[in-house]
Amino acid sequence: MPDEWIIVKDGPLPESLESVIDGISFPNKMKVLALPKNLTLGPARMKGTQAATYNWVALMDSDDICLPDRFEKQLALINSDSDLCIIGGQIIEYDDIPGKALATRNVATQHDRIFQCAKKRNPFNAMTVMFKRDKALDAGGFRYHPGFEDYDLWTRMMVKGAKCANHVDVLVHARTGSSMYTRRRGLPYIRAEWKMQCNLYKMGINNFFEFIRNLMLRIPIRLLPAKILGYIYEKYARIK
């Protein structure tokens, strides 16, 4: 079990959610950070990271379901290699009904392969990640970058020498489905995609050819209808 729980309320919540939080009784100490207004994911995660007492921080969102042995498996990885700074794992995706799987999103497990994957896409399932707080803050921490907050931090940490791994097993069941595909399209997401690709180029993760390749492959699909975008994700980026 975690030694500390931190719940970040990113702005005012409806009473239905407030009552859930009020009814939670964790066996160890819990902090609830109530932000006066919605800051979006990056700044909200930064607030939680800054409030953490311990150096290893585990992420999850309110609609994610950790498997009972998630932390046992990740702590085993940590104990096997003291140089590790970012540890993730595999996920099973669901839409509206927990337990009704849509697909599995598998990611690379070894550092070198993770770094190569980072050239094209986020090499971690964010809701599975445990990271070293001091290394994250040293790299600048989470920041405002809608749609790419996690990818942005992981790549900055890797450039500063953070060693990474992903567990081979599924650690979390995560909600995705049609709402996710709607968020990952349109001009705002294209602008965020452009910014992320520019950052990868400026950091030296990608060369100019890789920068242009990514833009040509990733930008056009953000103009597609959500249903077609979802089909592409499910057909080519997921395992049924």
Q: At what angle do helices 187-202 and 208-218 cross, to 10 degrees?
A: 170
Q: How many domains does the chain have?
A: 1
For 50-62, write each residue's pLDDT tens digit: 999 999 999 999 8
Nearest CA-CA partner of 190 in 144, 142, 231, 148: 148
State how far the Cα of 89 lies from the Cα of 87, in Å rounded to an integer: 7
pLDDT digits (tens, 9 = 90+) for 19-28: 988 888 777 7
Between 105 and 85, name the one with better pLDDT: 85
- Determine the average pLDDT of the residues in 153-166: 98
Q: Which domain holds residue 176?
A: 4-236
**Residues 114 and 205: beta-carbon distance below 8 Å:** no
Instruction: Return the CATH number at 207.
Output: 3.90.550.10
Residue 240 binned pLDDT confidence (cut-offs 50, 70, 90) = very low
